[in-house]
Amino acid sequence: GKGGYDHYMLKEINEQPTALGRSVRGRADPEAGTVDLDGFPPGTFEGIERVHLVAMGTSYHAAMYAESLLASRGVPARAFMASEYATAPPPAEDGTLVVAISQSGETADTIAAVRAASAERTLVVTNVVGSSLTRECDDALLVRAGPEIGVAATKSFSSQVATLSLLAERLRRDVVGSPSPDAAAFLSALTALPDQVQQVVESGAAERVADSFADSEAYFFIGRGPGHAVALEGALKFKEITYEHAEGFTAAELKHGPLALVTEDTPVFAVFDGRDGDTETLGNVQEIRARGGPVVAVASGDAPDVADAVDHVLPVPATHPDLVGVLANVQLQLVAYHAAKRRGRSIDKPRNLAKSVTV
């Protein structure tokens, strides 16, 4: 059942601390700065030179997030929409690891990508034991988020990113030959993430922001690096369950065209993750506000220059920059949820959509 919540989606948003705890528990040793992935001991990925991540929808956004995590750890990686990978697979090359990401393990486009990559080593990161992709791929790594009923993926995304974070550290050790310089700090932040997600779900800020923009024409989302993946995911969640026009962009992309859409009726949600790129994102925010566009920053509460430059802040607790996106994404899930609820939408079963896209 819904355990006292109005919707499965809200229940699953609230289950994220538990789900994340399960994804990470027993797999990260912050003191030693090492990961312990069952079935993937150190050395598992020796000989791997590059990673191709294939997925669709929300799982594709997790793939984009992982691409950033891997690249910053010196592991060459590229995220592909699985359907495009299946249509035009890159040439087979020794040393490629194809990582499929799928909550259900049943997505036809993702299965097609794995089949197109049959000459490569394949690994699926999935939430469902015994799913089709676990049979199609050489190896499976479980995200352990628990069953997800709401059509809109929520806790599965957070747990995918946590699991891919662990995989990124394992790959870094095996591909580069040494752990990430800040592995201990990163793994300790990962271990602290469940409590921080709990703080976000309890904060109430997202509902107030959703209420302030109840009559807007369109909703835009911007970010860079992992924040770009979160911007796309924020927009996908928003359009799926509110039926409003929502789009995500890289922050820099705006001035190359989409800025033409910005008016006082188009709020822009900007993800700040505490990295150097925040300065540029702040510049992009000023361009939006100069055109009258309201801006909501999703940012660490202790970033004072951001708070002064925007209309609203959705605060997230301070963490490792690689993990701010997970917390920011929870705020955006809550904004979408409250905006959809206000509009009386069918939140758990949005029109035209199915939980598992097997065609």
Q: Which two tokens stand for residue 291?
A: 């055109």
- Residue 10 has phi, psi (to 5 degrees) of -65, -40
CB of 153 to ligand F6R, least distance (A): 4
Choose which of 120, 136, 240, 273 interacts with ligand F6R (CB under 6 A). Answer: 240
110 binds ligand F6R (CB under 6 A): yes
CB-CB contact of 133 with 106 (8 Å): yes
| Residue 325 in contact with ligand F6R, rule: CB under 6 A | no
Does 163 bind ligand F6R (CB under 6 A)? Our answer is no
Residue 59 within binding range of ligand F6R, rule CB under 6 A? yes
Question: Binding segment for ligand F6R among 50-58, 267-275, 282-290, 312-320 (CB under 6 A)?
Answer: 50-58
Minimum separation from the CB atom of position 156 to ligand F6R (A): 7
Specify the residue, 261 or 357, whose C-beta has the smaller distance to ligand F6R.
357
Q: How far is the CB of 58 from ligand F6R (least distance, A)?
A: 3
The single residue among 23, 102, 163, 333 that binds ligand F6R, judged by CB under 6 A, is 102
Q: Name the segment binding ligand F6R (CB under 6 A); options: 1-9, 13-21, 56-64, 329-337.
A: 56-64
Task: Check binding of 16 to ligand F6R (CB under 6 A).
Answer: no
Q: Count of residues for the chain?
A: 359
- Residue 162 beta carbon to ligand F6R: minimum distance, rounded to whole angstroms: 15
Using CB under 6 A as the binding rule, the residues of this chain from 178 to 197 that contact ligand F6R are: none
Q: Are 96 and 66 in contact (CB under 8 A)?
A: no
From 116, 152, 324, 327, residue interacting with ligand F6R (rule: CB under 6 A): 152
How many chain residues are in contact with ligand F6R, going by CB under 6 A?
15
The residue from 14, 58, 158, 331 that contacts ligand F6R (CB under 6 A) is 58
Contact status: 332 vs ligand F6R (CB under 6 A): no
**Sequence-ordered list of residues with C-beta below 8 angstroms from that of 269, at least 6 positions apart, any chain:** 219, 220, 221, 222, 231, 234, 295, 296, 298, 314, 332, 335
Q: Residue 203 or 329: which CB sits closer to ligand F6R? A: 329
Please tell me whether residue 142 binds ligand F6R under the rule CB under 6 A. no
Residues found near ligand F6R in the complex (CB under 6 A): 56-59, 102-104, 107, 110, 152-153, 236, 240, 356-357
